[in-house]
């Protein structure tokens, strides 16, 4: 079982991917996580990646592809499958993936803009410990104060509605050609998430149902 998960920023993609991976006994390959880890460990690759990220640029295809190839080839359990999160972002990347591993399906999360704005614009993060709250769905006990460490809560710059809308536009522009590219090649399983407070397990169950319907899992 190998599939690619597409979903807009703020869709909860990472959460669903890790739960699905546990359920299906496969692994998540998140290029974003790999890069963050390399940056944190200050490796050669990490320093290279940080340069692009600090300039607000996308990491070039050749670096992303190289990282993915090494990751997949170095995986002892690659035969058991994976979920790709954050890859591919370009047609070039999609073509490179085909050369090293066949995918079985695309899982596409469709989330209306208002749901994402609602969810992300209510998100607050603790300055001290990084704990995440939501003013509607996961309220701190005292306003603007972290339950765990009494740190001050703040709103990340990219969680502001105007920035969210911009990120969604970028995501759409990036994803549309990829969906077009895959539509005759792989089954595309579409999952609608039409409310800001659907529990993750419900979405995960929907995805599993779609995978079953497509005869990809038992
Ligand atoms: Zn805290």
Domain count for the chain: 1
Taking the CA atoms of 94, 58, 120 and 175 in sequence, report the sign of the dihedral they define.
negative
Q: Across the 218 residues of the chain, what is the mean pLDDT of every consecutive 10-residue run?
A: 94 92 94 92 94 87 93 76 94 95 95 92 94 90 95 92 91 95 96 89 96 93
**Ligand 1 centroid to 153 CA: how many Å?**
8
- pLDDT on residue 54: 86
Distance CA 58, CA 170 (A): 11
- Structural domain containing residue 115: 2-213
**Ligand 1 centroid to 184 CA: how many Å?**
47
In a domain, 8, yes or no: yes
In a domain, 218, yes or no: no
Q: What CATH code is carried by the domain that includes residue 167?
A: 3.40.50.300
- State the catalytic residues: 13, 89, 123, 156, 167
**Ligand 1 centroid to 54 CA: how many Å?**
26
**Ligand 1 centroid to 145 CA: how many Å?**
8
CB contact at 8 A, 81 and 24: yes
Ion ligand 1, residues whose Cβ is below 5 A away: 126, 128-129, 131, 146, 148-149, 151
- pLDDT on residue 56: 79
- pLDDT on residue 146: 97
In a domain, 91, yes or no: yes
- pLDDT on residue 79: 64
**Ligand 1 centroid to 133 CA: how many Å?**
10
Q: How far apart are the first and last CA of the chain?
A: 11
- pLDDT on residue 58: 84
């Amino acid at each position: 079982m190998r599939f690619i998960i597409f979903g807009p920023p703020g869709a909860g993609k990472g959460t669903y991917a890790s739960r699905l991976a546990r359920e299906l006994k496969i692994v998540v390959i998140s290029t974003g996580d790999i890069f963050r880890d390399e940056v944190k460990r200050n490796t050669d690759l990490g320093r290279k990646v940080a340069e692009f990220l600090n300039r607000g640029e996308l990491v070039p295809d050749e670096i992303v592809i190289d990282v993915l190839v090494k990751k997949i080839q170095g995986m002892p359990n690659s035969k058991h499958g994976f979920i790709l999160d954050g890859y591919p972002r370009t047609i070039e990347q999609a073509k490179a993936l085909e050369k090293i591993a066949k995918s079985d399906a695309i899982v596409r999360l469709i989330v209306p803009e208002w749901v994402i704005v609602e969810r992300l614009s209510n998100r607050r993060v603790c300055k001290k410990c990084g704990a995440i709250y939501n003013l509607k769905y996961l309220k701190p006990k005292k306003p603007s104060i972290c339950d765990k460490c009494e740190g001050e809560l703040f709103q990340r710059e990219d969680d502001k509605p105007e920035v969210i809308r911009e990120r969604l536009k970028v995501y759409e522009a990036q994803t549309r050609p990829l969906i077009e590219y895959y539509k005759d090649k792989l089954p595309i399983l579409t999952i609608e998430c039409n409310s800001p407070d659907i529990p993750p397990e419900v979405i995960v169950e929907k995805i599993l149902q779609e995978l079953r319907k497509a005869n990809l899992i038992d």
